[in-house]
A and B are shown apart, each in its own frame.
Chain A
């Protein structure tokens, strides 16, 4: 439904003009318009700015007076009487916009426009921009409704007094009676019971509970089941996830630089706990917007409140944006959009570039909010060049744990050193074989100033020497040794070769026979073990002969290095195999020790993935950005809230203003916050919100089907202290909640089920589908893992080059509840992504509902589905009893109902035939697998 007419009223109201020009105009001015201006407009402007252009460029229309009065993206096109202050003139003069784009108009035409504006821009053309199909009157009412604080509407009278159980039922029934419709029958007990369990716990009822309820489907038992489900931790795991959809929760940044967020999970657990603890919603929201600014009694409270602000930090960001001003404004935009849609059901993002076209959100209000978020620190520093880093707020921790981590770190360092030593020993076993003589650089005779260094590792002894790339031709090192035996010897110079070293180092071997010289290229690692080069050979005639190696730096350009000289006997086998093997074994041993240490690492120091206020001198109001361009600043607006919801410029005594914003959003008389949340709850339970566009209560959202019901529920919700569990209880104990999903008459009269005359058949969520298969397989791990789902991942969650996740997690092998799966943006687990999981790119209050072969193929062919089907089949196949009984038990567990005789017969036939061919175990697995694939399993009636 289009509601454009209202908008125009509001916009025009804001502009402040409602000129009735034509009547009073001078006929000469009208004539001037008709002869000079109208033809020019027709010829040069209307192709792009006329009624035919859809939409007109810049949303500016020039084919009627109202067009330029109201103006387009840049505001009113002209101000009568103010030639130089009119955008239209700037454009015609090619000063700002260049209009028309194909070429500047002749000077005399431009002069005509100037004259026309100067004389008051008389324009006799009437008409409005209104879309012809806009039904005007109803919309004003709706808008009045949207921005009016909800009150506890009186409960309407109904004719069928026997039907309703709760006040909500009376609202539903009253509308149905008005429409001449009757509600559907109550759903069969088992169907309602299954619905309740999936809705409140994300899992089906177990067989005993189901049987008990079917035996006595009384109100008392229903109420008891509701209480049991609300008290179970499964409630928070299921309902927390609904909020995580809205909060665009993920464990990595996604976007250009998919940074791992090792601490985001604390926010996830915070949300789950908040629902389990029934934290009042106003408090919940306040903590998420400004928890860090709230007083805290204990360290634990402070930590929890800080973690809550992760809500603001979770948006996906272009971290590599080089224009950090733009990035700041983009981050603020995500936060404004999220708070707007999540809390208030308003699409505030529209007002970034221009006043909201449809809702009464002026750009000023947007930048009043932007000032608050621009004064908030969400990113901090750079993790690599140009790539912004996120904020980490250290969390308090048990000192014993801190000490243990410190000890572990030291142990790792020690183990790493041991590995390094062992590796060096392997090299050394080759470099300095049995019987060799090593002369370290420290023992060399130095001429000139040689610098000691330990920079290039590994090295022999305590370091090596280099010439510092200076004093060329003035320096030398002489390594001298006395050979202990006759025989053939080889002289090896040890050095760390690499780029930047000298390529032509003169090295001399001096022996009793005389001298030999070679030129050594040190720009590359040495040919011997990457660490050394042979610089000469000598045949000693007897023991005790003295030999030297002399390294000089004359004629060189780069660094000249010398680490040690080894004189090695040239035997048949220059490396001692036993020593080498022993050294290698030691490497393996030390590496195993190190790995064991790393595998058992204590958790990293706890941080909150959160936001903070910027330092005081960076907290400021921000400027309107023209057309949303970060660098085009307009007027600075004081920080504040939405004028249409009773906000405006606010006194912000100190800080960013988030605390004041949170207080304003959660005011009991705020027109939207309570209603938007109650509507979300209704939507999750009834398959569609009273406002079906749960994130958009604006003019372009869907109108409410039962505004008074929603108002009453919202008013009660706020009056009761914003508590969620009582609200859920109130709704699931209604009769409307427990209706059948089929209603033979309603399809004709109310095909969209706007009146809730029947239950909406829904798809199981991706999480419920996966968790239920795990549960049937007896494998579901329900306890919170209590650690980061992305621990062990690198700085990037997905490697840019290979496109593969950097962490050790095999997602398909995990058996945790789906809410605890790692949510790496761009790498969501298939089990979720294929079944319409909320993509964490933005606020998702209503998930899409799609069907497609991808879903079918996942169920048919994904190995993990198959494995669970096998495990589930084994559990039921091996029970005692006739095959028919066991089939019934599998049916009850899977579908929460008994199979018919015919279904049992068919199942038994299938199993018999399959077992004869493939054996009983395979037959049952194939059968359970088919149940997992079936449409009935995927829908919630």
Chain B
């Protein structure tokens, strides 16, 4: 049967509406390589589960977005937020054997007292070590999880466990799940951004989509605890290309694309979704260009705000910029922002000096972030989560170090429905093992999703023959830390 030659229509009228539309978007076609957004939903995704992306939540949400402050390397719980007086008393004695408890390969069995003093803060009277005097001022807004435990005695496993819920297999990251479940609040920005993420220990897996649609991958800015230029790949047009030339190119491109897609639409009786998607990619890129440079521009903040985060001062400048950028991204509608330190916190030796330097870099920026969120009314529906991939041993490694410890450590949450001034769970008297209010990493993930209005058992994606969840077959919402 006769069908029209799809290419019979290359004789066209030159003026196209698409070109006009682009021109109305204004000049200054900068660009931003935002990998994760606005891609077309695939059929698999549409059929994927009870929650369709961007749809309503399973239940009323307490938080709309998350800032995850990742302390890469593993800060020691007994030196930061969980005071252990008996550890101080029994310094140098042996850690009593506990049947079934994790054996620490490298640590001796001699207890190591915390080199830092603890002081009480806030209405709740929470004791916080001298490493975090600024964060300590916010204890009444913070819910502490002292009974954390996780999987993975090596960094690679534990970091992936923290960010993806799996210590061995490639799985979508928490932010990718959140993006998949909730979509974005701003179609001109990606829903998931990772600031200075680790290059190793799983690298992009820790902010990747695995089998979820590619749009849920985080857009990374910077790497390994450094923001670098604070921007993303292929953001800027080639330097030699003037604005005029780029505008001319875009005009021609709009015409070529309009011809192609119109031609197909006419011959087939309707537009081709994939072609339209590709064409829209250019238009979206253009729209983003109007939004993103502003969002990424920290110089728009006042001096007072810079000072609040410690921007422009040593040693807080780096992490201060990350925290400030995180707030700006959240304000602009980004769902999930990962904020990473460098791979700094791994003090097998030099604990005193190392932890002091690390805390010195992050304490003021984090406190500044909490203050800033609160005064802007954002803390109410922004969940801030703090922690490392694991904690550290109560026993010494060398004279001045602690080994990895996934069997008991502290994380904390603030804002977004977290119960301020509350401490949940505990490790034993020395800080070695979680004994009370034991909270597995899966439980933390379940709780985070819960606060975002998502049921971790119902947020599923079908892949390789089964429905996958962030929490695998585990996870319990920790109601005790919900306000």
Contacts and interface: CB of A to CB of B under 8 A. Distances in A.
Interface of A: 53-55, 58, 73, 182-185, 188, 191, 254-258, 316, 318-322, 326, 330, 337, 341, 347, 349-350, 353, 356-359, 386, 695-696, 698, 700-701, 740-744, 747-748, 761, 763, 796, 798-804, 825-827, 830, 834, 836, 841-842, 848-858, 860-863, 866, 897, 899-903, 906, 910, 913-914, 917-918, 922, 926-927, 929-931, 933-936, 938-939, 941
A863 B233 CA distance: 11
20 contacts: A185-B3, A255-B202, A322-B154, A330-B168, A353-B473, A743-B268, A796-B200, A798-B203, A800-B198, A800-B199, A801-B224, A852-B35, A852-B281, A856-B31, A861-B235, A910-B252, A926-B245, A930-B256, A934-B257, A936-B260
Interface stretch (B8-16, B136-144, B323-331, B353-361): B8-16
Given A800-B200, A801-B343, A742 B260 contact: no
Contact of A850 (B169, B215, B234, B342): B215
A855 B280 CA distance: 11
Nearest to B236: A861
B39 A742 contact: no
Given A834-B35, A935-B278, A913 B234 contact: no
Given A318-B157, A854-B34, A939-B275, A926 B249 contact: yes
Interface string B301-319: 0000000000000000000
B238 A866 contact: yes
Contacts, number: 286
B244 to A, nearest CB: 7
B450 interface: no
Interface string B102-119: 000100000000000000
A398 B37 CA distance: 53
A698 B280 CA distance: 36
A453 to B, nearest CB: 26
Contacts of B37: 852-853
Nearest to B265: A742
B435 interface: no
A700 B466 contact: yes
Interface of B: 1-7, 10-12, 14, 31-40, 42, 50, 105, 153-157, 159-160, 167-170, 198-205, 210, 213-215, 223-224, 233-238, 241, 244-246, 248-249, 252-253, 255-257, 259-261, 264, 267-270, 272, 274-275, 277-282, 284-285, 288, 342-343, 457-458, 462, 464-467, 473
Nearest to B12: A902
A918 B242 CA distance: 10
Nearest to B244: A917
Contacts of B238: 861, 863, 866
Contact of B270 (A747, A834, A913): A747
Nearest to A929: B249
A318 B278 contact: no
B31 A860 contact: yes
A748 to B, nearest CB: 8
Given A350-B465, A742-B4, A930-B253, A255 B205 contact: yes
Nearest to B197: A803
B109 to A, nearest CB: 18
B466 A255 contact: no
Contact of B473 (A73, A322, A918): A73
Given A848-B214, A934-B260, A740 B6 contact: yes
A321 B224 contact: no
A827 B31 CA distance: 22
A862 B234 contact: yes
B105 A857 contact: no
B317 to A, nearest CB: 19
Given A740-B3, A927-B252, A341 B464 contact: yes
B33 A696 contact: no
Contacts of A341: 464
Contacts of B237: 860-861
A853 B168 contact: no
Given A318-B168, A742-B267, A842-B170, A802 B252 contact: no
Nearest to B469: A55
Contacts of A906: 14, 252, 255
B105 A861 contact: no
Given A853-B281, A861-B31, A914-B248, A744 B168 contact: no
A914 B279 contact: no
Contacts of B241: 866, 926
Nearest to B282: A856
B272 A761 contact: yes
A935 B257 contact: yes
Contacts of B253: 930, 933-934
Nearest to B153: A322
A901 B13 CA distance: 12
A853 to B, nearest CB: 4
Nearest to B342: A801
Contact of A386 (B154, B203, B256): B154
Contact of B199 (A798, A850, A941): A798
A31 to B, nearest CB: 36
A363 B170 CA distance: 22
Q: Which of A830, A903, A930 has the most CB of B within 10 A?
A: A930
Nearest to B9: A900
B267 A744 contact: yes
B156 A257 contact: yes
A798 B5 CA distance: 51
Contacts of B215: 850, 852
B466 A747 contact: no
B283 to A, nearest CB: 9
B439 to A, nearest CB: 14
Q: Which of A761, A854, A933 has the most CB of B within 10 A?
A: A854
Given A860-B234, A930-B256, 6 more contacts: A55-B457, A185-B1, A320-B156, A322-B154, A851-B280, A900-B10
A182 B245 CA distance: 47
B200 A258 contact: yes
Contacts of B260: 934-936, 939
Contacts of B282: 853, 856, 860, 933
B457 A54 contact: yes
Nearest to B212: A848
Contacts of B31: 853, 856-857, 860-861
Contacts of B284: 852-853, 856
Nearest to A698: B465
Nearest 6 Cβ contacts at the A-B interface = A256-B156, A803-B199, A800-B200, A347-B465, A185-B3, A826-B203
A851 B274 contact: yes
B156 A848 contact: no
A321 B168 contact: yes
Contact of A359 (B154, B201, B465): B465
A347 B464 contact: yes
A181 B457 CA distance: 44
Nearest to A852: B39
A684 to B, nearest CB: 17
Contact of B464 (A696, A860, A933): A696
Contact of A901 (B2, B11, B235): B11
Given A742-B6, A901-B11, A841 B170 contact: yes
A256 B466 contact: no
B56 to A, nearest CB: 17
Contact of A800 (B2, B50, B343): B343
B168 A855 contact: no
Nearest to A160: B1
Contacts of A73: 473
B39 A850 contact: yes
Contacts of B223: 803
Contacts of B5: 185, 188, 740
A875 B440 CA distance: 62
A124 to B, nearest CB: 30
A763 B10 CA distance: 21
A849 B378 CA distance: 37
Nearest to B203: A826
A311 B268 CA distance: 43
